[in-house]
Amino acid sequence: MGSSANPLVKASLSDRVSAVIQQAIEQQRLVGAVVLIARHGHMVYRQAAGLADRENNHVMTPETIFRLASVSKPIVSAAALVLVARGQLDLDSPVSRWLPEFTPMLADGNPATITARQLLSHTAGLGYRFFERDEHGPYAAAGVSDGMDAAEITLEENLRRIARVPLQYTPGRSWAYSLATDVLGALVARINGTTLDVAVRELITDPLAMRNTGFYSAEPQRVARAYVNDQPRPHLLQEGEIVPPFPDVVGIRYSPARIFNPAAFPSAGAGMAGTADDFLRLLEALRDGETLLPRTLVEEMSRDWTHGLELEGSPGIGFGLGFSVLRDPQLAASPESPGTWRWGGAYGHSWFVDPQQELSVIAFTNTLGEGMSGQFVNDLRDAVYGISTAGREAA
């Protein structure tokens, strides 16, 4: 990517965004962050701030590797779409065609048919263990892993355990954020005829030169330590610590050490690590509709497949094939254009792509809570679009 054609725009944007990052760090809402912004295919902002490792005073750099959590989802979702482009996967065929052992049932005991499109759009009837109300829920009872704990099971075993739990609803009838991407990962691996880590490397990370992204890191000195929002400052995330991302749920059991364990199963929904630069390569490759996938398939990914269903707590937002899609900016109280893609990651990340503005924004942080859904996320968005108390400026 080259430099911005308009240095005045770059300087104005830089001032606004840098101020938001600095404020979040000074107020100890974030420990460290890497923020990238691309416009019209050019990098217009690339900044690392704060600390990657507070205890050892290691500064954050653009080359810092982050545990990606759900930022893994669009990577594996894109891999599935590459298989569609090659004619190896049909989005609307039953996944049992390729995964005959995956046979979940409805609550009444009747069999259910799940398609790849439903897995990609989280309309398959599956759930997440961390969304259960207590530690005795059905996923917990089945020993299901959400992909961020230290569970010593294989991907195949986790798939079997997921299939034992009755579906929450008939596939296609509702929407619930779920382990669907983990099932999708098993599907991608089966069709590719490899393990999932090899499939993602062959389909996505090698073609896009995402050299620092994968399901395992052999460079612990480059990986940011993880912190949890707390008072008076974020505390260091402990191995096995449970952190609820929302009220009234049991929460995610984290294993920061998982990414350094080559035997940990590859979780398509939560198990990857990588740099912000690498992830920007993927977003830009999808946005341009030429580098990785045909434009028609990018349009499929960008369409709302919830059929008008409201995502709980997210008015005006639907879900495409791997990420949310903005339906109504007014309802969502957002300056983003209709059709903007967005999602995040529980280790402290947020990102969005505004195709109308040819804009891609990534904010990887090492602070759980604030970096995914805190004030920083909206402040950064508003800074990008030039919104201030004085009103909207030219972005």
For tokens 């970096």, name the residue.
Answer: 371
Q: Is the preceding omega at residue 232 within 30 degrees of 0, hence cis?
A: yes
72 a catalytic residue: no
How many Å apart are CA 105 and CA 95, to the nearest integer? 14
DSSP letters for 130-198: GGSSSTTSHHHHTT---SSS-----HHHHHHHHHHSPPSS-TTS-----THHHHHHHHHHHHHTS-HHH
**Residue 306: both structure tokens together:** 């919830």
Backbone angles phi, psi at 273, to 5 degrees: -135, 155
DSSP letters spanning 214-266: BS--S-GGGBPP-EE--SSSPEEPPTT-EE-SSTTS--EE--GGGGG-TTS--
**Nearest to 13, CA basis, from 370, 358, 361:** 361
Are the C-beta atoms of residues 156 and 110 closer than 8 Å to each other?
no
Please enumerate in sequence order all residues whose Cβ is within 8 A of that of 33, keeping only pairs 6 or more positions apart, or say none: 21, 24, 25, 48, 49, 50, 60, 363, 364, 365, 366, 371
**Which of these is catalytic: 4, 14, 70, 178?**
70
Beta carbons within 10 angstroms of residue 331's beta carbon = 13
Q: How far apart are CA 41 and CA 37, in angstroms?
A: 10
Write the CB contacts of 312 (distance below 8 Å, at least 6 apart in sequence): none
Residue 170 has a CB neighbour count (10 Å cut-off) of: 16
Question: Can you tell me the distance from the alpha carbon of 30 to that of 26, in angstroms, rounded to the nearest whole number?
Answer: 8
Q: Which residues pair with 318 in a beta bridge?
A: 325
The residues annotated as belonging to the active site are 70
